[in-house]
Amino acid sequence: MRRPAGVGRLLRGGHRPGPGRAVHRRLCVAGLDTAETRLSALGAVRPEPQPLAERCRVLLDPAGHPFCLTAK
């Protein structure tokens, strides 16, 4: 089942969303390679390893916050 793009909170254990909690950012894109190239030009960095690189890529924004690119 594919989830829609959007912003969701990462909930671990009994933690609840609140100020200072992590936000999981996921962007659905038509082409992973093209999107990664464009975002890299804007300062995103691709950390390794990438176990599901054919379906999803994790990148870090210039401040080091992770976000995901998911193929449509």
pLDDT at 72: 85
Which pLDDT score is estimated for 16?
Answer: 53
The answer to whether 59 touches 67, Cβ cutoff 8 Å, is: yes
Topology adopted by domain 19-71: 3.30.720
Distance CA 50, CA 33 (A): 13
With a cut of 70, which residues of the chain have pLDDT below it? Answer: 1-23
Per the prediction, the chain carries an average pLDDT of 78
Give which of 68, 65, 62 is closest to 50, Cα–Cα.
68
pLDDT value for 7: 39
Q: What is each CA distance from 54 to 5, 11, 14, 47, in whole angstroms?
A: 17, 26, 32, 15
Q: Is the pTM of this model over 0.85?
A: no
